Amino acid sequence: MLGLMQNQPLLISTLIAFADRHHGDGEIVSRRVEGDIHRTSYRSVAARARQVGNALDGWGLAFSDRVATLAWNGYRHLELYYGVSGSGRVLHTINPRLHPAQIAWITQHAEDRVLCFDATFLPLIQSLHAQCPMVQHWVMLCDADKLPADTGIPNLVSYEAWIAAASTTYQWPQFDENTASSLCYTSGTTGDPKGVLYSHRSTTLHAYAAALPDAMDLSARDAVLAVVPMFHVNAWGIPYSAALTGCKLVFPGPAMDGPSVYNLIESEKVTFAAGVPTVWQMLLGHMQPAGLRFGSLQRTVIGGSACPPAMVKAFQQDYGVEVIHAWGMTELSPLGTLCTLKNKHLLLTKEEQLAMRLKQGRAVYGVDMKVLGEDGQPLPHDGQSAGDLLVQGPWIVADYYRSPEPSPLVDGWFPTGDVATIDADGYLQITDRSKDVIKSGGEWISSIAVENIAVAHPAVAMAACIGVQHPKWDERPIVVVVKKPGAELSAAELLQFYDGKIAKWQVPDDVVFVDAIPLGATGKMQKMRLREMLKDYRLPGL
């Protein structure tokens, strides 16, 4: 006989069952939509997740049916993370910042059968429920007595009443670890949003990797503030790694402004926090003028957009908080690289260490990376040669969900649309983006969508949307326009033309009129050259 190991599937339910058994009294603290602070434990979350499993069985939801959430970070959302996936259904987290029409499109594409939403989103659901015919049950994440009457939404129940009717006794089902567990749409580039479908296996492996010392270094001694919204790529794996490690979890709810985040860090003695640069910008903007200090915060992972040097410096040097710069994507579950130093770097000066921390970091085990030159050949890992970044690994997308397009993979590797260098020590540095998108405050704006609206204006001959640097939002879109001969058009008129056509925050900040937009040999707009042409451009008011 071969002495093989037990064949236990890696299931998401095992994470919460583990947390229940081994750190059941571990704290979970949430600032709720109601504004109050709610306290619970892994034991209670596990019991209520089992109630969710039973309640979904009660509605007759089939294996792999989709259950959507439109919700902030909080304990009820965490219970759905476990109850939905653990019971064999697919948790579909929806980004509420998308345009309502896009939310309706995504809901239909995913064929969501249940949609659970925070009270904040009641008006949104009232306006779009009729466009979501597949959704049979609507659940508002609130107490029974907080559910308004006459909402016009059919089959609407309160979460508390719904799960109260279900037993806490539930046997988590056993199935293949390659079963789908959650779904997240990314709406960065052209065309319709694309669904990334995660599996129990990919999620569990990612949870292990995220907790490692050279990743987020999570432990039972940590108090973790997940500022990154749980509607973004399973909130960077934290809800799963937290159950695996038993750390205290702190959720900010909808309040991500500087004072709210600061108060939560201090009152809950947070040791580790994760979020996009814009959130930390707001936090520092609150602390610096008031001379506030951190009492407990040790490290912060910053990703989703490039972390500005001044932010790394402020956290490291002024506040003694370690900055872990991270790079990831929805297609990568999301972790690709995190920037922690190696033993030999400890001999470097503070300034040299700071420069290193600006890189996006080293790959975690499970992610392989390569950069290719224009000829498709691999470039040397010399920290100088920049090319297209491709990745491969067990938690990286193979195919988009129900996509009519062929697999995005090239020879088994996923092209990220990022342009990067890799140095001899394996540190990745993102230098540019080949995909046609702008990232503002951690959220995507499709440059093509912005351009299509501009060229629909009768006075516009050609339009190119590019991102320009912004101190708060990292990047903001502007639209560069060539007018039709003899046509009259002002910037204000064109900006007004965007009204109601895309989400307000996606409307460009400015219009720049030019005589010509540089074109390549095939007639494609050359955005790199355009960015170069406008390198001295500053947004109005900055």
Positions annotated as catalytic residues are 186, 331, 439, 444
429 makes contact with ligand ADP (CB under 6 A): no
Select the residue interacting with ligand ADP from 40, 69, 182, 360 (CB under 6 A).
360
Compute the least distance from the CB of residue 264 to ligand ADP, in Å.
22
Structure tokens at 170: 């539930």
Select the residue interacting with ligand ADP from 79, 268, 388, 418 (CB under 6 A).
418
* CA distance from start to end of the chain: 72
Q: Which is nearer to ligand ADP, 153 or 386 (CB)?
A: 386
3-class SS at 397?
coil
DSSP β-ladder status, 443-446 and 437-440: antiparallel
CA distance readout (Å), 345 to 350, 362, 381, 464: 10, 13, 18, 43
Compute the least distance from the CB of residue 161 to ligand ADP, in Å.
33
How many CB atoms sit inside 10 A of residue 245's CB?
A: 23
Could you say which residues in the range 206-245 bind ligand ADP, by CB under 6 A? 232-233
User: Considering just the CA atoms, what is the radius of gyration of the chain in Å?
Assistant: 24
508 makes contact with ligand ADP (CB under 6 A): no
Compute the least distance from the CB of residue 150 to ligand ADP, in Å.
37
DSSP 197-245: EEEHHHHHHHHHHHHSTTTT---TT-EEEE-S-TTSGGGGGHHHHHHHH
- Minimal CA–CA distance to 151: which of 169, 178, 126, 181? 126
CA distance readout (Å), 287 to 21, 262, 268, 280, 293: 39, 8, 17, 10, 7
Compute the least distance from the CB of residue 319 to ligand ADP, in Å.
20
Per rule CB under 6 A, count of chain residues that contact ligand ADP:
22
Compute the least distance from the CB of residue 36 to ligand ADP, in Å.
29
What is the rounded distance in angstroms from the CA atom of residue 110 to the CA atom of residue 283?
Answer: 36
Strands (E), 340-498: 362-363, 368-372, 387-392, 414-422, 428-433, 437-440, 443-446, 460-470, 474-483
Q: Which is nearer to ligand ADP, 209 or 494 (CB)?
A: 209
102 makes contact with ligand ADP (CB under 6 A): no
x/- site string to ligand ADP, residues 361 to 400, per CB under 6 A?
Answer: ----------------------------------------
Compute the least distance from the CB of residue 530 to ligand ADP, in Å.
19
414 makes contact with ligand ADP (CB under 6 A): no
Compute the least distance from the CB of residue 34 to ligand ADP, in Å.
27
Structure tokens at 503: 């989400």
278 makes contact with ligand ADP (CB under 6 A): no
Select the residue interacting with ligand ADP from 304, 441, 467, 508 (CB under 6 A).
304
Q: Which is nearer to ligand ADP, 83 or 193 (CB)?
A: 193
Q: Which is nearer to ligand ADP, 162 or 272 (CB)?
A: 272
Could you say which residues in the range 137-176 bind ligand ADP, by CB under 6 A? none
What is the rounded distance in angstroms from the CA atom of residue 257 to the CA atom of residue 38?
Answer: 19
Q: Which is nearer to ligand ADP, 357 or 433 (CB)?
A: 433
Q: Which is nearer to ligand ADP, 30 or 186 (CB)?
A: 186
- Minimal CA–CA distance to 28: which of 69, 77, 66? 77
Q: Which is nearer to ligand ADP, 330 or 506 (CB)?
A: 330
x/- site string to ligand ADP, residues 313 to 342, per CB under 6 A?
Answer: ------------xxxxxx---x--------
Compute the least distance from the CB of residue 389 to ligand ADP, in Å.
8
* Beta carbons within 8 Å of 305's beta carbon, 6+ residues apart: 276, 277, 278, 439, 442, 474, 475
51 makes contact with ligand ADP (CB under 6 A): no
Select the residue interacting with ligand ADP from 73, 416, 421, 506 (CB under 6 A).
416
- Minimal CA–CA distance to 441: which of 286, 237, 257? 257
Contact 242, 249 (CB under 8 A): yes
* Beta carbons within 8 Å of 145's beta carbon, 6+ residues apart: none
- Minimal CA–CA distance to 206: which of 174, 248, 249, 177? 177
Could you say which residues in the range 239-258 bind ligand ADP, by CB under 6 A? none
The one-letter amino acid at 5: M
Compute the least distance from the CB of residue 64 to ligand ADP, in Å.
24
Which span sits near ligand ADP by CB under 6 A: 83-91, 134-142, 299-307, 390-398?
299-307
Q: Which is nearer to ligand ADP, 76 or 357 (CB)?
A: 357
How many CB atoms sit inside 10 A of residue 469's CB?
A: 13
DSSP β-ladder status, 137-140 and 156-158: parallel
Q: Which is nearer to ligand ADP, 303 or 387 (CB)?
A: 303
Q: Which is nearer to ligand ADP, 439 or 476 (CB)?
A: 439
Could you say which residues in the range 438-477 bind ligand ADP, by CB under 6 A? 439, 444
186 makes contact with ligand ADP (CB under 6 A): yes
* Beta carbons within 8 Å of 200's beta carbon, 6+ residues apart: 9, 10, 11, 12, 85, 175, 177, 178, 179, 181
CA 283, chain centre distance (Å): 19
Task: Name the site residues for ligand ADP (rule: CB under 6 A).
Answer: 186, 232-233, 303-306, 325-330, 334, 360, 416-418, 430, 433, 439, 444
